[in-house]
Amino acid sequence: ASRSLADGIGGIKIKVGQPDMKEDLRRLAAVREHLGDDVPLMVDANQQWDRAAALRFGRAVEELGLVWIEEPLDAYDAEGHAQLAAALDTPIATGEMLSSVAEHVRLIEARAADIIQPDAPRVGGITPFLRLATLADHAGLQLAPHFAMEIHLHLAAAYPREPWVEHFEWLNPLFNERLETRDGRMIVPDRPGLGFTLSDQCRKWTVDSVEFGRA
């Protein structure tokens, strides 16, 4: 966590959802103590809890001042997320697993999240993402796109409310360029398009065409 902050990252997200919730709480409290109160801190449960467990966790961490609790419940449990969002002061974030604008509409209409986390490749590309981002803005929600920062940085920069963008280095081998971070912010590249060209390593994994069947 300290190394990430030194590298210019603006917040820290921690995986939770272990079988022993006490271990999650102990580790989270230790990180908060180490970082201090001023560093943005989030947690991601990756759908590991039922409604009762998520509520217990949420109540236990209220004093830690988390930016959000991510995917506490099954991705399609809009009702459960809505109940949790209403019961807790800590914001609820979800949406990364949804695969269409319509599924996000259900989430938004249910008030199931304070922060919506669409994934542009998963929902069908940039155009569907922008449609649901408009709906989220009208609903007063924050935006924190899931993964693929090379795409989502541009889309988040166009969002009227201050967004969050996940920083992953996992996809770095695919591209010749790197995103710049400075003082907790990602810098939107001014190169054409998304601002990235495929690396030689990535090109080895591509194909020119795929034949699905014969006429």
> 83, 24, 27: which is closest to 48 by C-alpha?
24
Across 54-144, where does the E strand assignment appear? Answer: 68-70, 92-94, 115-116, 142-143
CA distance from start to end of the chain: 56
> 118, 122, 163, 127: which is closest to 145 by C-alpha?
118
Q: What Cα–Cα distance (Å) separates residue 62 from each residue in 10, 14, 57, 90?
A: 21, 16, 9, 6
- Residue 15 annotated as catalytic: yes
- Residue 146 annotated as catalytic: yes
Q: In the block, which residue shows the tokens 């929902």?
A: 123
Catalytic residue among 13, 15, 138, 154: 15
> 119, 129, 117, 49: which is closest to 83 by C-alpha?
49
Catalytic residue among 104, 146, 152, 204: 146
Residues acting as catalytic residues: 15, 146
